[in-house]
Structure 1
Amino acid sequence: MESDRYPTRRRLLQSAGLTAVTGILTECLDESTTDNDPGGSTDDGDYGEPETDGDDESAADGSNGVDEPGAEDETDGNNGPDADGSDGDAASDGNDTTDVEGETFELIDSETTIELRSLAQSWEGIASAKIEGVENSDFSLQEGETYTITWAENEIGMHNLEIYDDSESPVAGPTELISENETDLSVKFKASSDTVEYVCDPHYHVGMKGSIELE
């Protein structure tokens, strides 16, 4: 009887030990499964998905932040004539003028009195009003018309008055060479391609001259 009892106890102990080992192994397997399932820790199943409020950098209209081909800067489209019909060139103010290399010549009527005053090295306009107070004023004259330029006053120095052609030769005048204050000398001429400048001959090369342009 003794020999039959001990084998039974051994079997019980073996069975209990096997059960304990099996439990430990099962627990280890469960923990391993849990560790390998990172998505199981969230309640809503959205593990690893970034939150978004729907406002991406992309706009709701489907644009992706890149300008569409063909897009251009804003423009008013006015690269042609101005609204008033001008093409961008300087507009005329309605006066009879000739613009030559940036200088403006006002047309002088042939019946208008032209009077000059001689300064030390320049001419100054006295009349008409278009040239009053202007030094070495440029004249715009009507071609073929006859004009008279009167040297009315002399402020200082010795001068004369004459009309030059483009070779610096006199075609009208000269007046006497005088130094008196009251001169009252005149040069009469017909405006033509030969009448290019009115000058003081002794002071021509220091700039005592004015241009004559033709209309």
Structure 2
Amino acid sequence: MTDRTHTRRTVLQAAGATSVVALAAGCLSDDEEENGGGNGGGNGGDDDIDPSEWEDVDTIELDGVTAGWEGVAPDMIAGETNPTIVLFEGQEYDFTWYNEDSGTHNIEIWDEDETVVEDYQTDEVNDDEQTLSGVVASEEMAYYRCAPHSQMQAPIQVESE
């Protein structure tokens, strides 16, 4: 295991333990519970996203684990489970994911009808790392997802220029 992987895994494990303690203690409000779990919106839901923070982003990095995508970069999604990704229509992006559980994963960009947009998908692999390059954001993009694992799905918010 690389130092980067070990450090990231330790931080994520600590964050996960803190979340479990908070949930067990009943410390989360209804809004926090709705926005933080399940299939997407782990970074607080669309209402808390400031699209201007995403203006200079062209690379999205995620850890692939069967329980859900874990944000790595940019910083505003680091440590978040199934974070909402903000893209700007017409801009090009790369999605890189790191396999953190040796499972078989891929990444696909879906529309509202759960159809892959513009063939933006990778093969299902259990490699250490995989990149989906040259993704041009369009208004039809709604989700990113791992085909074998439905819990690895989160929203894409596309902003007009």
- TM (norm. structure 1) is 0.47
CA distance, structure 2, for counterparts of residue 189 and residue 208 of structure 1:
19
User: Does 1:168 find its partner at 2:105?
Assistant: no
CA distance, structure 1, for counterparts of residue 50 and residue 85 of structure 2:
7
Structure-1 residue corresponding to 2:125: 178
Choose from 145, 151, 169 the match for 2:91: 145
CA distance, structure 2, for counterparts of residue 136 and residue 196 of structure 1:
13
Q: Could you say which structure has the higher strand fraction?
A: 2
**Would you say the 8 A contact 2:108–2:121 is kept in 1?**
yes
Shift of 1:158: 1.1
- TM (norm. structure 2) is 0.62
Q: Report Cα offsets for 1:68-107 as digits up to 9, x if no partner.
A: xxxxxxxxxxxxxxxxxxxxxxxxxxxxxxxx97642342
User: Does 1:189 find its partner at 2:135?
Assistant: yes
Q: Could you say which structure has the higher helix fraction?
A: 2
* Number of residue pairs matched by the alignment: 113
> Which amino acid in structure 1 is aligned with residue 70 of structure 2?
E
Q: CA RMSD in A?
A: 2.2
Choose from 92, 105, 116 the match for 2:62: 116
What pairs up with 1:82-101 in 2 under 5 angstroms?
Answer: none
Unaligned runs of 5+ in 1: 1-99
Shift of 1:153: 3.2
CA distance, structure 2, for counterparts of residue 127 and residue 198 of structure 1:
15
Shift of 1:119: 0.8
CA distance, structure 2, for counterparts of residue 168 and residue 190 of structure 1:
18
CA distance, structure 2, for counterparts of residue 174 and residue 102 of structure 1:
24
CA distance, structure 2, for counterparts of residue 158 and residue 203 of structure 1:
9
